[in-house]
């Protein structure tokens, strides 16, 4: 029986010790403490979720300010420094919260601007205490000592350079998203851009233009009277150009490089038939001085069709008519250099 009581009292002591530790962390030692600010931020966010309109925004802003102040207070009590620097880890955490609060968006909290300005804001937060002397309400402004000035300048300069590199990353990444064809022959020689995936040998947008253009050309040529097709081929530059602009405007609307593609035809005779080359020409920047283009070749043949099967035909004496038949390559050819003359 005594052994049973000892075990029960031992369990109670363990529970009491755990409760005491939790209480020291959770319960503020005094009203003016960092825990109070954190609790105020949680309370503000709870009230904000229950509010609407401008009141919701005001309470949310207060919640952010309480969180930033509480985090800064907690992390500066016993600062832990990043190795080989005079920047506290707490300043990095506080800088991130300030950056998210200032430049984050409601639907996307982490934005490129948030990441870019994070190091610089953290450096500013690290430097601010050096301009004050004392603590609490007795703090007075001061000019940092010479050795401290040097540390502040080096820290600010290093963080600003880091922010510039981060900004450059987002700018280049945006360029490659909006101008994917630039990387076909340019990024492989770049000392700045390092690709982590296999180099794209054929520009996807150039292929897309020809893939969407071919059905439109076939629709205007296939099974049409031969005389009309010859007239169409005579005016191929204008007709294909109009179709190409339509295809580019429709299928490349999300890319800024849509203005750097041009569509042109090349028509040549092969005995009694015609060869129609459809070219999507890149007129943007390129590592090759002459640029590059893609080509799909189509063969336009004259065939004989019965008037019973072809409604848009020219009747002849033997109840047959001459119509056009077009066959185009399935795969686009990528060619470096200037397109052939018209």
Tokens 């005016």, located at residue: 235
The pLDDT value given to residue 251: 92
The pLDDT value given to residue 314: 44
Question: What percent helix, strand, coil does the chain show, rounded to 5?
Answer: 55, 15, 25
Kindly tell me if the per-residue pLDDT of 230 is higher than 80. yes
Number of H helices, E strands in the chain: 9, 7
CB atoms closer than 10 angstroms to residue 239 = 17
Tell me the two tokens of residue 194.
């390092």
pTM for the whole structure: 0.64
Angle, alpha carbons 85-88-92 (nearest 5°): 105
**For the chain, what percent of residues have pLDDT higher than 90?**
25
Distance of CA 327 to the CA centre of its chain: 39
The pLDDT value given to residue 312: 43
The pLDDT value given to residue 196: 52
CA distance 244 to 209: 7
133: Cβ contacts below 8 Å, ≥ 6 apart: 139, 140, 141, 142
Band the pLDDT of 294: cuts 50, 70, 90.
very high
The pLDDT value given to residue 204: 87
Of 135 and 276, the one with more pLDDT: 276
Q: What mean pLDDT is predicted for residues 139-158?
A: 83
Q: Tens digits of per-residue pLDDT, 78-124?
A: 777 777 777 788 888 889 999 988 887 767 778 889 999 999 999 99
CA distance 314 to 60: 76
Q: Return the closest-CA partner of residue 38 out of 28, 48, 29, 30.
A: 28
Of 250 and 179, the one with more pLDDT: 250
The pLDDT value given to residue 316: 41
Average of per-residue pLDDT values in the chain? 81
Kindly tell me if the per-residue pLDDT of 217 is higher than 90. yes
CA distance 125 to 105: 22
Distance set, CA 92 to CA 42, 172, 312 (Å): 21, 26, 75
Kindly tell me if the per-residue pLDDT of 313 is higher than 50. no
Q: Return the closest-CA partner of residue 44 out of 17, 62, 31.
A: 62
Of 49 and 194, the one with more pLDDT: 49
């Amino acid at each position: 029986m005594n052994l049973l009581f000892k075990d029960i009292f031992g369990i109670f002591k363990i529970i009491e010790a755990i409760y005491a530790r939790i209480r020291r962390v959770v319960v503020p030692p005094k009203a003016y403490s960092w825990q109070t600010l954190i609790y105020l931020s949680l309370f503000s966010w709870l009230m904000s979720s229950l509010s609407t309109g401008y009141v919701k925004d005001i309470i949310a802003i207060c919640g952010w300010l309480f969180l930033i102040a509480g985090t800064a207070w907690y992390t500066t009590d016993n600062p832990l420094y990043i190795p080989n620097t005079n920047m506290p880890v707490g300043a990095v955490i506080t800088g991130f919260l300030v950056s998210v609060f200032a430049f984050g968006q409601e639907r996307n909290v982490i934005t490129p601007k948030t990441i870019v300005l994070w190091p610089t804001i953290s450096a500013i937060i690290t430097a601010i205490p050096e301009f004050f002397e004392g603590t609490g309400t007795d703090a007075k402004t001061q000019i940092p000592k010479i050795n401290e000035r040097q540390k502040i300048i080096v820290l600010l300069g290093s963080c600003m350079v880091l922010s510039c590199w981060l900004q450059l990353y987002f700018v280049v990444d945006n360029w490659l998203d909006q101008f994917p064809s630039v990387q076909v022959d340019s990024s492989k020689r770049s000392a700045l851009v390092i690709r982590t995936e296999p180099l794209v040998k054929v520009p996807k947008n150039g292929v897309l233009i020809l893939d969407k253009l071919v059905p439109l050309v076939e629709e205007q040529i296939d099974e049409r009277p031969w005389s009309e097709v010859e007239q169409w081929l005579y005016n191929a530059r204008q007709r294909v150009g109009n179709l190409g602009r339509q295809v580019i405007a429709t299928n490349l609307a999300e890319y800024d490089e849509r203005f750097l593609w041009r569509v042109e035809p090349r028509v040549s005779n092969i005995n009694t038939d015609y060869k129609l080359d459809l070219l999507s020409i890149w007129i943007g920047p390129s590592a090759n001085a002459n640029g590059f283009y893609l080509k799909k070749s189509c063969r336009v043949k004259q065939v004989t069709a019965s008037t019973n099967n072809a409604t848009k035909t020219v009747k002849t004496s033997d109840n047959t008519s001459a119509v056009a038949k077009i066959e185009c390559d399935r795969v686009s050819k990528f060619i470096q250099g200037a397109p052939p003359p018209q």
